[in-house]
Amino acid sequence: MLADKQDGLSGRDHNICIIGSGPIGIVTALELARQGQAVTVLESGAHMASVEASRHSRAEIVGTPKHADMMVAVQRSLGGTSNLWGAGCVPLDPIDFERRPGLTDASWPLEYRDFARYFADACRYANCGPPVFEDEPPGVAVGDRAFRCSNLIRFADPSSFRIAHEAEIMRSRRIALHLDATVTGMEFAADGRIASVTVRRRTGEVASVKAKVFIVACGGIETARLLLGVQRTASGRFGGSMVRSGAITWAISPARSRRCGFPVVRSMRVSIFSGVRTAATRAGALSLRTTSSAGRI
């Protein structure tokens, strides 16, 4: 159901709080709700895209351009970037789960066969047909074994997860969706777990949200933006100021936003090795210098 105000966010302990309502946030919320869990979803944007919300995702691409402009690469609204993408669905390959010297210092916490178990569920949520991603075309002879022409791209229909799943989210009594709820900070418990997050609205209202479990589902770019911002007040978190993970490598130069007081990063270089393949790119690198005045989501 839609909770269009921050009423009920502060003053109580939530069960599971998901930051972000893109494809991952939506699917996670629906799955948890079906298992009987109460879920609070925080989305920085509104029901539809807006210029004001998109300002929080501004960034200056530096170096050789290898990424689309942020206005067409990221969207803060219900459904997230699925409202923009071409909806081509391609799974990761087994080699993506193997440790390769020089590529990364980290590895996936699961094996490819564990990942592949969920192809059918992923295709069902994306409504892209059966989980079949290889099919040899008849009558085609390939002499070079290093070359393949059997890979398939399946397309989500509809492409937007908002359009596909909004009705079920609104009907659910276990999902509370809060729009215009930008997470700008985190507080940590003594054991290192996230104890609460700070949520701001465009009106200036501020709420502190406590939950048993927090799930960050902001996408590769905006998750990095949020965690880098949190590092301004918790420098030892997420690997420290120089971080290498299986998904993201970053170095930070701190600055503080005058607009909302959120300690964001105005100068940031990010290299993102794509964990999700698309029809347009099988793997990509992105360098950014952020200019945003608020953190995602």
> Is 214 part of a structural domain of the chain?
yes
> Is 5 part of a structural domain of the chain?
no
> Is 1 part of a structural domain of the chain?
no
What pLDDT score does 250 carry?
33
pLDDT at 48 over 90: no
**Structure tokens belonging to residue 140:** 């085609």
> For 8-30, what is the mean pLDDT?
92
> For 113-133, what is the mean pLDDT?
93
Dist. CA 50–CA 76, nearest whole Å: 8
User: pTM of the entire structure?
Assistant: 0.77
Question: Which residues have a Cβ under 8 Å from the Cβ of 5 and sit 6 or more positions away?
Answer: none
Q: What is the pLDDT of residues 206-216, one digit of tens each?
A: 999 999 999 99
For residue 153, the domain's CATH number is 3.50.50.60
DSSP code, position 205: -
Pair 160, 82: CB distance under 8 Å = yes
> Is 296 part of a structural domain of the chain?
no
What pLDDT score does 204 carry?
85
As beta bridge partners, residue 206 has: 200
In degrees rounded to 5, what are phi and psi of residue 286?
-135, 130
In degrees rounded to 5, what are phi and psi of residue 276?
-125, 120
Question: Is the sign of the CA dihedral 46, 50, 54, 56 positive or negative?
Answer: negative
Pair 273, 67: CB distance under 8 Å = no
pLDDT at 295 over 50: no
Nearest to 257 by CA among 77, 10, 58: 58
**Considering its fold, how many domains does the chain have in total?**
1
Give the domain range for residue 61.
13-290
Residue 285 to residues 126, 193, 225, 264, 288, Cα–Cα distance (Å): 25, 30, 16, 22, 10
Helix H or strand E segment including 282: none
Q: Which of 13-17, 23-27, 43-47 has the lowest mean pLDDT?
A: 43-47
Q: How confident is the model at residue 65 (pLDDT cuts 50, 70, 90)?
A: low
**Structure tokens belonging to residue 199:** 């949520």
Q: Which residue has the higher pLDDT, 184 or 71?
A: 184
**Structure tokens belonging to residue 179:** 């729009």
> Is 68 part of a structural domain of the chain?
yes
Question: Is the sign of the CA dihedral 104, 110, 114, 120 positive or negative?
Answer: negative
> For 163-192, what is the mean pLDDT?
92
> Is 209 part of a structural domain of the chain?
yes
pLDDT at 60 over 50: yes
Q: What is the pLDDT of residues 193-244, one digit of tens each?
A: 899 999 998 888 899 999 999 999 998 888 888 888 888 877 777 765 444 3
> Is 236 part of a structural domain of the chain?
yes
Question: Is the sign of the CA dihedral 109, 112, 118, 122 positive or negative?
Answer: positive
Residue 273 to residues 96, 114, 122, 162, 242, Cα–Cα distance (Å): 10, 21, 21, 26, 16
What pLDDT score does 276 carry?
31
> Is 6 part of a structural domain of the chain?
no
Dist. CA 182–CA 186, nearest whole Å: 12
Q: Please, what is the average pLDDT of the chain?
A: 76
How do 13-19 and 206-216 pair as beta strands?
parallel
What pLDDT score does 40 carry?
95
